Amino acid sequence: MLTLEAKKSALGFSLIELIIAIAIVGLVSAIAMPGYATWIKNSRVRTAAESIQNGLQTARAEAVKRNSQIEFKLDPAMNSTWEINLCSVSSAGVRACNTLLENRRASEGSSTTITVVATPSTSKSIVFNNFGSVIADPVPFSELGISLSGADRPLIVTLGVGGNTRLCDPSTSLAASDPRRC
């Protein structure tokens, strides 16, 4: 047979215990929220940077696969939006890149508030030849700086003349030997 004290402990927890538990959860949430918001913004930057890097790699692979010129173009109005176009060259040597092969909108897993800055800043597109190398006309970008207001980890996508891409972190807090550092 249960004693009076055993019956009370079997009934659950008191209102005071419930209020204390809710207060502790609220306090921990309030402390963690600023860090969580920054983490979400950094994740958006990484998603956009990886999307752009994957788009560049896809465009290069398509150029080799199709034995043709392929254009990778960033949308100037929507920074992390990009598209891959098949180019045709006329007998007069005029290049027209208007056959859409693939595209990615900023609303597809990224953020419309991402800022992408090309170097040189006048360039928003790049054309790969059938060997996967970069064509110098028009002047291609050599790197893309990707950032978001409130995020503390901007990223850079670099593009070599041979068409190879690299995603790196410009942070000075990384060691010089760290492979993630630019």
Three-point CA angle 12, 14, 18, nearest 5°: 100
pLDDT tens digits, one per residue of 150-170: 778 889 999 887 888 999 888
pLDDT tens digits, one per residue of 26-76: 998 888 777 788 888 888 888 888 989 999 999 999 999 999 999 999 886
Element (H, E) at 87: strand 82-89
pLDDT score of 176 more than 70: yes
Write the DSSP assignment of 36-80 as a string of letters.
HHHHHHHHHHHHHHHHHHHHHHHHHHHHHHHTS-EEEEE-SSSTT
* DSSP structure class, residue 180: T
Beta-strand relationship, 165-168 and 95-104: unpaired
Look at residue 67 in the predicted model and tell me its pLDDT. 93
d(CA 114, CA 78): 8
pTM value is: 0.78
154 preceded by a cis bond (ω within 30 of 0): no
